[in-house]
Every structure is written in C-alpha cells, then in structure tokens.
Amino acid sequence: MTESQTGLIANRYRLGTLIAGGGMGQVWRGRDTLLDRPVAVKVLRDQFAADPAFRTRFRAEAQHAATLTHPHIAAVFDYGEQPGSPGTPPVAYLVMELVEGESLADVLHREGHLDVPRTLDVLRQAADGLGAAHAAGVVHRDIKPANLLVGRDGRVKLTDFGIARSAASVAITATGQVLGTAHYLSPEQASGRPASPASDVYALGAVGYECLTGRRAFEGESAVQIAVMQIREHPDPLPAAVPPAVRALVERAMAKDPAVRFPDGTALRDGVDAVLAGASATALPATAVLPVVPAAAAVPAAGAVPATAATAVAAPEDRPRRRRWPVVLLVAALLGAAGVGIVASALRDGAPPATAEETAPEEPAGIDVVAADLLGRPVREVQAELIGRGLRVELVPVETADATAGTVTAVGPTGTLPADSLVRLTYAVPPVPEPEPVPAPVPAPLPAPAPADEGNGGGGNGNEGNQGNGNGNQGNGNGNGKDDDEDKKDDEEGGGDEEGGGDDE
C-alpha cells in the first residue's frame, strides 16, 4: 500500500503518515474514528497479502499479541482483512497502540551508543515485557532494536510479534526455515533448532552489546555468513569501561549454550535488578547447569583486580584469542569480586568499592500499598509501579460513569504486603450504552379481495373485468365456481384467452 492509496480502513481507521516499514508490512500513523483516538496501523505489504501463508502469519501476530497485557508490550486493539480494489490483493491490517517516540534503532543511529545506566534501563524494561510473554507461552523470535519502541517518557515497549509463535502451537513455517534478523539470531535458531525463551534472551543480550559498543556483535557480507558467526564465533570483548558485573550480565545472556543463559525474560530482568541494586556479582540469578568454579577463582582477595581474558585462562596457541570467552571467565565474572558491590560503586558517582557489610541489603519488611496513593491514577501507570516494586497485578475492569475511563477505582489488598503478593486493581471502563428500542415493523395491509364476477362465479378467462389474467381465480387459476360444463360454455363464448389477453368487445 502506497501513501497515495491510504484512506479509511474497515470504515473506521483513517491512515495518515507512514511511520516505519519492515520486512512484512508498513506501519502508519492513524486515527480510530469511532473512538476518536490515535492508533498505529500495520498493513501487510501488497506482495505478501495475496499469499494465504503470509496472511496466516500476520494473523498470528494479532492472536499472540492480543493475549499479552503489560506496560512494556505495545497493546493490540484490532485485526482484520478486507477486500482490496479490483485486481489487488486483500488488505490485512493490525491496529496497535501508538507509542509517541522512536525505535531504539533510531536512537542508536542518532546517538551511536548508550551509557551503562541507560543500557541497563532499556534491558530491564524489555526483559520485563519478555518475561510476561514467556509466562504466556509466547516466544517473540525477532527481538532487535527496531522492535523496541522508546516513548518520550523513556518507557520501552516490545512490538511486532509478527513471527512469534506459541510454544504450544504448531509452527507455521516450513521445516528448517529460519525467521528473524541474522544479527540478533540465537545460535540454536541459526542451526535450525526451535526457538525458546532463552533465544529471546540471547537476542536481547545482543541488543545490550550494541547499546554499549555502538556496533553489532557480528557483521558479515550476507545473512548466512552472520548466522554462521552466531554459531561458531564470539564477539569482541566489551569496552574496558563497562563494569565487570554488567559485562558478566551481557556475556551470560549471549552464551552459546542456551542452558547457560538466563532461562527467560524474567530471570534476565532479575539479573539487571541485582546489578542496579549494587549487589555482588553472586547475587545474579544462578543457573543450575553452570559449572562449579574453585573457591580460589570464585572469591579473589578483597581489592584484587577481577580476572580478564588474559589472566583467567590462557588460550591454546592453535586457537585465536579474539572472539573467545571461556566459560571459566564467564563464571568467574558472575561469582567474583568477593562480595564487593563493584557495579554499584561504579554507577554511584565513581565512589570507591564498598565492603560487603556496607552494601548488603536489609531484609525487606514488606511493600506498603496505600489505596489513597493509587486511586484516580491511570491504571497502566499504577500497574507498572506495583510490578516495579515486586508485586503481581491483576486488572479488573468495571463499567462505571462515575470515574474517568482507565483510572483506578479500587485497590485490594492494601497495607504492608509480602513481595510477589497479588494486588487487584479495579479500573473504570465506560458503560456500554443500551441500544435504543427498535419499533416493531408495521405489517403491510393485505390486498382487498377482487369483486366477484357475476358472469363467472369461479374464475373463467377472458371476461370483462378479468382481462389479462390467464387464470382469473385468485390463488387458484382453475375457476371452481361452476361445474365443468358451464366452464366449457363460458370458454366458448369468451374466446378462451390462455395467454392473458382477449377482449370480447
């Protein structure tokens, strides 16, 4: 669909300017004329719309994304297909939440790279959204900067579940077909194996690498070459200025073996939280399959310099040291630093590292939930706040005209709650107006019966007053008012107009 072809879709969505274009479709700024609100409308490209397989995949985007409700996932409002103009394929469209901002790809193109705190903020929000998708059984399979939208308020939202699939569903693509962008493709996907939540973690780790370095982890002359590099090679080390725990976080997310990575988005989010909280590297969520590191390697003396690729493991002479991150180095980075809050001190104004006693977090006494602080606020804002404080949230819509639509009207339970408690947020939705009663249709009056013909009591043909009627008896066509002899006599006298004509005069 070209810009000159845009207009009103489904007699409801008016398209405006083109926002972005991807491999499968184009995203337009639009307006829902029924609800009078801005929306984003993704339209399948014309060259694909005629293919039922592509439309099936596009429809799956709507089905998968519609199951996900989360502050860091762009909401899906509607999906449909409508016939195109003569000689053109049908128009398949997806109506989504319009995020006022830009993609992370645009941010990186403009700024080059991001600093450590900002990178961690992006990773934390995106991982939180991925965790919700993974909990619902959905694997995104195409995490990349272009699919991370950054709002003007700094909120990150995942979008484009166009090639996602439910872990419980049958794959749409043919066996061996690889979907996704090669620069962020996990080794198992590049090898033709099924994607898993850990595959999304790898892709998000590659996004973090790009944010910190200003370049992609792998570059090649073709997608196939890049996919082979994903399987066989390791990216160059992160800049030396990146704190060790942040380095360990990204390296673990990009581990070649899915079992060594964070298992899903929630685990990666928890890892980012541990780094942001200034906990020691050992506070990063553990994976059972990680090899055990000797105590001497795992807990260096206080103040010791963390191990590097040059000091931890000597690479064999027959292997290049470039692009090799030994597993021992990864684990040492995760478990090292002797319980010292290295990253916290690096992020806090360059203060010197604190001891474990100074940085050990206190046991939380609970999370205070005060209804008065939450009522009347936008439900999405309150939901994000409570989730960020370690609570689970259930949304309960209630139709009411006494509160602004989308605002919180009730909260429960309140008080001091344990972490991971479930809080129900009741929010207002506008009541659906009752349809106006439609008056019953007035039946049409029955036609008046034709006056009886004195000369033809039952019906005959060709008499005056019955001209043009082939069978003059209403409802029967065989005059039954006289016996057969009289009918015959009438026919002889009247001329027998079988064709509905006849005029005796």
Which residue(s) pair with 407 in the sheet? 378
Q: CA 424, CA 402: separation in Å to the nearest integer?
A: 20
- Token pair, residue 8, equals 């009103």
Q: Kindly provide the residue ranges of all beta strands, DSSP E only, lying in 339-403, ordered along the sequence.
A: 367-369, 392-399
Query: What are residue 422's DSSP bridge partners?
Result: 392
**Cα separations (Å) of 316 from 229, 235, 251, 310, 326?**
20, 18, 21, 12, 11
| Residue 439 phi, psi dihedral angles, 5° rounding | -65, 145
Query: Distance from first CA to last CA of the chain, Å, rounded?
Result: 71
Check whether the bond before 413 is cis (ω within 30° of 0). Answer: yes
- 121, 128, 142, 490: which is the annotated catalytic residue? 142
Distance, in Å, from the CA atom of 165 to the CA atom of 134, rounded to the nearest integer, reads 11
Q: How many CB atoms lie within 10 A of CB 154?
A: 11
Is residue 236 part of the annotated active site? The answer reads no
Tokens found for residue 270: 């928890």
Question: How do beta strands 76-82 and 13-21 pair?
Answer: unpaired
For CA atoms 362, 128, 156, 95, give the dihedral sign. negative
Phi (first) and psi of residue 231, to 5 degrees: -80, -40
Paired sense of beta strands 422-429 and 392-399, if any: parallel
Within 8 A by CB and 6+ apart from 119, the residues are 208, 211, 212, 246
Instruction: Give me the residues paired with residue 349 across strands.
Output: none
Cis peptide before 258 (omega within 30 of 0): no
Helix (H) or strand (E) holding 20, with range, is strand 13-21
Comparing CA positions, the residue from 259, 280, 429 lying closest to residue 356 is 280
How many residues would you count in the chain? 505
Which residues participate in catalysis according to the annotation? 142
